[in-house]
């Protein structure tokens, strides 16, 4: 397993964290997902680099691109939707 920590954009609250944790845990090859709102980071153990790339892509699609990646308005809007879903399911 490869332990990975990613700094992500648009992370606001426990709703965001809940969505991120739920969706990343659903990916095959990911374990021990942890989100830290204070540092805007997500960490997890991944089976290989392909799984890390899949996780990064999923985060971006949810509205939480990695710091340094493009963060257009539609990604910011997606993060609000993901946040709301996370609040409802928590």
At 76 the three-state DSSP class reads: helix
Q: What is the maximal distance between C-alpha atoms in the chain?
A: 34
Terminal CA-to-CA distance of the chain, rounded, Å? 28
pTM: 0.94
**4-14: per-residue pLDDT in tens?**
999 999 999 99
* Region of residue 2 (left: phi > 0; alpha: psi -120 to 50; beta: else): beta
CATH number for the domain whose boundaries are 2-89: 3.30.70.100
The DSSP code sequence of 13-60 is: SHHHHHHHHHHHHTSTTEEEEEEEGGGTEEEEEESSHHHHHHHHHHHH
What is the band of 75 on the pLDDT scale with cuts at 50, 70, 90?
very high
- The domains of the chain are located at 2-89
């Amino acid at each position: 397993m490869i332990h990975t920590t990613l700094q992500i954009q648009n992370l606001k609250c426990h709703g965001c964290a809940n969505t991120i944790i739920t969706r990343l845990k659903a990916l095959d090859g990911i374990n021990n997902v942890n989100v830290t709102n204070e540092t805007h980071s997500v960490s997890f153990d991944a089976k290989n680099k392909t799984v890390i790339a899949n996780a990064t892509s999923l985060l971006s699609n949810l509205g939480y691109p990695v710091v340094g990646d493009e963060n257009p308005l539609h990604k910011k809007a997606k993060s609000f939707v993901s946040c709301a879903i996370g609040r409802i399911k928590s």
